Structures are given as structure tokens and as C-alpha cells.
Amino acid sequence: MDIHTQLYRLREMLAPVLDTNAFYKQKLTEAGVTHPNDVQMLVDYRQLPFTTKEELSTDQVSHPPYGTNLTFPLERYTCLHRTSGTTGSPLRWLDTAESWDWWGKCWGEIYRAAGVTSVDRLMIAFSFGPFIGFWSAYHGAQQLGALIIPNGGMTSDQRIRAILSNDVTVLIATPTYALRLAEVAEQDGLNLPEETSIRVTIHAGEPGASLPATKHRIESRWGARAYDHAGATEVGAWGVMCEPQAGVHLNEDEFICEVLDPETGNLADEGELVITNLGRVGMPVIRYRTGDYVRLKSAACECGWGSRVLDGGVIGRLDKAVIIRGLNVYPATLENIVLKFPDVREFSARVYGTGTLDELEIQVESTHPNPAETATAVAAAIRDELGLRAIVKAVPLETLPRSELKSNRFTDERHP
């Protein structure tokens, strides 16, 4: 969708927002925008103020429980979700019936791009807590007409059995949990590629499915193609991986997307993703600083969809780059190095200070007959690829934590 049409939709949204949404009415008025027609051209759009997570969070703290970013009276809203709170305090987010259908439509793009149709049988492998991801995936699958296999509250073993007995064809999970399920199945003596019908896996919550090492691992364990997807509670499901899998499309039919140099704020090929959603009038975000660090591809995608493509999906979180002895290290980069080793089952990393020096320590579970050899090889790979010395230790299998939600393999003990 071109910017002209996007701005038309933005003006349609601004009409009620400028009228009744206290949060944006004040913010936009202060920036000199009092009427939808004040945003006619791209140059006008780029004058709009940014919205930050901190600002939304502060607003909810001072106006509990939902803040003032509400365009309609509370009775119009039908769904409540909450962010995971991995960065900052959790945000509560409300949707109306209309905006919830819009979420489903955005998920429809994710399914269709991965070749998922109404004949598929889906397992959305989560316990369905207050986080929006699985609920919206569920709503999108219902709109698509696919069969959804319930699995909340099940153990990993029970989920594997449900996948087998229902001939599930599509698995939706975090990359870590997809690997955990595969591990459990292998311990039960199952050969997943031969014994299940799973042909597509769809992932979010962690960058893993765009990291070559993790993606390869998921695909070979399941005998399926792994698709990445990206989104956020406050924003929507904005990232879509299409069949050629050459990156993650920005869904520019439903979102206005900018990539900005975090230092200068100028448009750039690589930088922070800033998004306005166009289908969530009841509780929108306008020029929202996602904190996601991304890189745009210059070439158009061969799938034919005109929307731009991010090389490698979300490369990292701006707030999560860790500086170790002067080097900027993203947990995702580290994951891609460590999980390239087929013997590594799971790992965890911590950074701590010894007073004068920062140390990076990594624990690995290895299936190698001599796990210490894996540890040595991982340390060498980190030294080669990052120029960083790390202490790598082998630990017994099944000792490190696995999670069905966002995994937290990285802890920084210098800033508790």
C-alpha cells in the first residue's frame, strides 16, 4: 500500500482519536495537529511526535488500570491482554470487537504467506495466559477456518501425543519451545519427520526462526519449514514471512513503518523500527518506537508483494544489546553462534563483573560423549566471530531451563 493510501487511513483513524482519545488528543495538539487534514503528506507525518513504551507505561500508572489512550468508553472493548513485562513494567491493552478482527486479519496474512489454509490442523502450543500472541493467532486461525487443537495446561508429552493423534500439520510455538517439544519426542523414541504430519512451524517471541542456526535445527528436527513472524502487544502482528523466506515482510497494508537511525532520527536502511498501526482505532499507537533493531533489504521480494522486507527479521532489541568489554553483543548473535553446534542441546549465558573486567560465562548442555570438547569449540567460535573471550562450561543434560514463552537465556548480573 502506498503512503498516500496509508495516510488516508491514518486520517480516518485520527478523526475519532482527536475527538475522544485523551492521550493522543493532548499529544497531537501539543504538536500542532488538531484536525485529521493536518496530516496530508509524508512530510506532515514525519513531524508527528514519537510514542514510547515508557510514556504509555507512565500513563497507565497515573491513570490505572488502562491509562488514557482510549478512544471509546470502556464498554466498547471486548479483549484485554498484557505485555510480558520483559522490558519495563507490563502494559495492559484493550481491543474492541473491530480491532480484534483486525488482529485476526493480520494473522491471516501470516498464515496465507506460509501456505496455511482452512484444511490445516493447528496446534498453538501455549498455556494461553494474558499475553496477546497466542490469542491473536487463535483468532486468525478461526477466521481462516482451520481446525485448532486445544492444548492449554498440557505437558510437552501430552502435546506430542495430541499432535500425533490429531494429525496436526502446523505448529505455532516459540523457537525454544518447538525445540523442547522435539527433544521430548526424541526421548520417547519418536522420529518426528516420519511420524508426524507437521509441515509448517510458525514462530515468534524470539528471533530464533530468522537465525540460520536455530531455523535449521527446528526444520531438521520436525521435517518442516520454519517461518518467523514478528509483532508486539501494543502494535499488532506486523511481520510476515512469505514462501521464499528471504526475510520478514513489513505488513505495510496495515502499518506505516519507518526505519530510523536511533542517533539522528533520520530515515535509514538499518536502525529502529517505528510503527503506526492503522486498524486499532480504540487504542492505537502512532509513530511508536518499537525498540526493535532491523535492517531493510534493498531488493523487492520475489513473492510479488510490494511491501518491504527486513533482512533477518528483528535483529535485536535496542534495549538488549549488552556491552561486554567494549563490544556490543546481541543475545541473538550469541544464540546463532552457540546453536550452530549440533551437539548443543541448550545453553545459558551470564555476564558478571569482577571489578576490573567483565566476564561472559556460557553453560552448555551437550550430547557429545566428551561435553568438554563442545565447550572448547563453542569458546573458539565466540572468539573467532565476536573477538570475545568467553568462559564456556559443559553442564549435565536437562539442567538448564526451557520455557514455552520467551526464553531468557541471557542474564546481566552487572546491573541487577
Rule CB under 5 A: which residues touch Zn ion?
Answer: 242, 301, 303
Least Å from the CB of residue 217 to Zn ion:
23
Question: Smaller CB distance to Zn ion: residue 284 or 312?
Answer: 312
Q: Which is nearer to Zn ion, 36 or 239 (CB)?
A: 239
Q: Locate cell 526475510: which residue? A: 247
Backbone CA torsion sign across 401, 151, 156, 215 = negative
Beta bridge partners of 329: 322
Q: How far is the CB of 104 from Zn ion (least distance, A)?
A: 21
**Taking a C-beta distance cutoff of 8 angstroms, is the pair 140, 105 a contact?**
yes
Quote the least distance from Cβ 295 to Zn ion, whole Å. Answer: 16
Shorter beta-carbon distance to Zn ion: residue 203 or 249? 249
Nearest distance in Å: CB 285, Zn ion: 25
Name which of 83, 20, 28, 21 is nearest 57 in CA terms: 83
| Residue 25 or 112 having the CB closest to Zn ion | 112
- Identify residue 348 by its one-letter amino acid code: S
Measured from the CB atom, is 303 or 318 closer to Zn ion?
Answer: 303
Query: Would you say 152 and 126 are in contact if contact means Cβ atoms under 8 Å apart?
Result: yes
Q: Which is nearer to Zn ion, 308 or 320 (CB)?
A: 308
| Minimum gap (Å) between residue 303 Cβ and Zn ion | 3
Q: How far is the CB of 365 from Zn ion (least distance, A)?
A: 36
State the nearest-atom distance from the C-beta of 299 to Zn ion, in Å.
11
Q: For 372, how many CA atoms within 13 A lie in the half-sphere containing its CB?
A: 0
Q: How many CA atoms does the CB half-sphere of 13 hold within 13 Å?
A: 25
- For residue 200, give the 3-state DSSP assignment: strand
Task: Rank residues 249 and 402 by Cβ distance to Zn ion and give the closer one.
Answer: 249
**DSSP labels, 253-310:** TTEEEEEE-TTT--B-SEEEEEEEESS-TTS--SSEEEEEEEEB-SSPPTT---S-EE
Q: Which of 289, 316, 405 is nearest to 57 (CA)?
A: 289
Q: State the minimum distance, in angstroms, from the CB of residue 273 to Zn ion.
A: 18
Residue 118 has a CB neighbour count (10 Å cut-off) of 11
Residue 273 backbone zone (phi > 0: left; psi -120 to 50: alpha; other: beta): beta
Judged by beta carbon, residue 252 or residue 358, the one nearer Zn ion is 252
